Amino acid sequence: MSERIPVKVISPVKVHRPDSDKHDNHYTPRSRIYVRAVSGALENFRRFFGLLFLGAFALLPWLQFNGQQAILLDIGSQRFNIFALTLWPQDLTLLAWIFIVAAFALFFITTFAGRVWCGFMCPQTTWTYIYTWFEEKIEGSRHQRIKLDERKMNADKFWRKFLKHFAWVAVALLTSLTFVGYFTPIDLLFVDFFTFSSGFWASSSVCFFTLCTYGNAGWMREIMCTHICPYARFQSAMFDKDTFTVAYNAKRGEHRGPRARKNTQEQNQQQGLGDCIDCNLCVQVCPTGIDIRNGLQYECINCGACVDACNGVMEKMNYPKGLISFTSETELAGGTTKIFRPKLIGYAVVLVLMTGLLVLEIMTRVPLELDVIRDRNSLYRETNEGLIENVYTLKVLNKSQQDQSYRISVAGLDGVQFIGDNLVHVAGGEVLNWPVSLAIDPNKLSDTVSEVKFKVELINDPLNTIEVQQATKFLYPDL
């Protein structure tokens, strides 16, 4: 117990702040962020992914499959149609597998490349950039927007603000209608909503999500990423020294400061200057308003806007690109990034395993379900022929999207008679309640409670052998 715990002395990190005498101070957390437009390879890549997922989001609910909406998550009917797959509440485990696979895919990507989901594919980021695009087209560049907000209200400022918010609301409304269209027939939703004939829940949902989209992408923006989204808080648990993140090479960039453009790197080094000219563009293009030169921060969403901005400056200065880049802590320290490392391999193995189990669950899923409910009014009754009769209701669930025919049979009790039609037809995605009775001579019963099995088998498709069984009890207490 007398052994002392060794203490490691860590030097404090020097935080570089933009010089307030040289730059306007619009980057504090409580100030509005005026994002500057940027162009470059990563920006083009981000726009491509944004348009790809935005197009998929907008088009998928309009697709038709077998004469109906291909993707319809009908909560009221407790039925999710996803092309040829129909999910019911009984398929909750399948939905759980889907969420587990999505979670481990996110963990794997984050461990490898940081918060690229936030920067390139997150809906909040995508819609924020859409709103920023309308802002730039209507109100002008970053500098023009700052000057516009500083001006007193006049006719020019009023119509620009009005047009901007009108565009924001229009985008939010179309987004909301499309989103709600995943849960109700989208073609009828558009017609009913604009003719004021939609139901209460559909109209309320559209208005609610319109308000959410308008508020999140128009007003809250980076607040959603820095204060509300939990992903920013627990992402560090998945980071390691070999994770690729947007980072500033301080060894190469410091000391920062202005210099003559004609100076060579050697001349700058003689003056004690690094490659960073302290232009502050990396801060101006950041959608969360941080200074990447201060090191890794949880607000960074790895969108790469600062990389494109810095590369543009380096190109104009005839310096090598990459002062700000997607790199790892190991590379910044002069080492080599280890791609194949235990943590990443572990996530990959679990992801592959979970994906395999999900595929297996889908492939082995039986598109038929049977539930047997005994008559609760009487345990049994005697027929005129002296037979003992039990009454049941069979709930036959056709999980497929095609109409099917089934044969019902019973087994497990010698001499039992099946009373009722044993051939049934069930429409696709429907539940059939089918009353049947079982009767038997009491002399053939050896116990007051006997087990019987109902079997339902598909008969209209000879290529598919589908059958389900459900055990129940046959009662005769007076035996």
The predicted-structure confidence for 358-373, as pLDDT tens digits, reads as follows 999 888 888 999 999 9
β-strand partners of 11: none
pLDDT of residue 5: 64
- Tokens at residue 96, please? 């759980």
pLDDT of residue 258: 86
Sign of CA dihedral 223, 227, 228, 230: positive
**CB burial class (10 A; 0-12, 13-18, 19+) of residue 312?**
middle
User: How far is Cα 191 from Cα 194, in angstroms, rounded to an integer?
Assistant: 6
Instruction: Delimit the domains of the chain by residue range.
Output: 41-87+122-220, 368-475
pLDDT of residue 3: 64
pLDDT of residue 26: 46
pLDDT of residue 7: 59
| Assigned superfamily of 368-475 | Immunoglobulins (2.60.40.10)
Task: Supply φ then ψ for residue 176, to 5 degrees.
Answer: -65, -45
pLDDT of residue 147: 93
For residue 202, which of 179, 178, 184, 182 has the smallest C-alpha distance?
184
pLDDT of residue 12: 52
Residue the block writes with tokens 């940027």 = 38
**Residues of the chain under the 70 pLDDT cut:** 1-31, 479
pLDDT of residue 330: 93
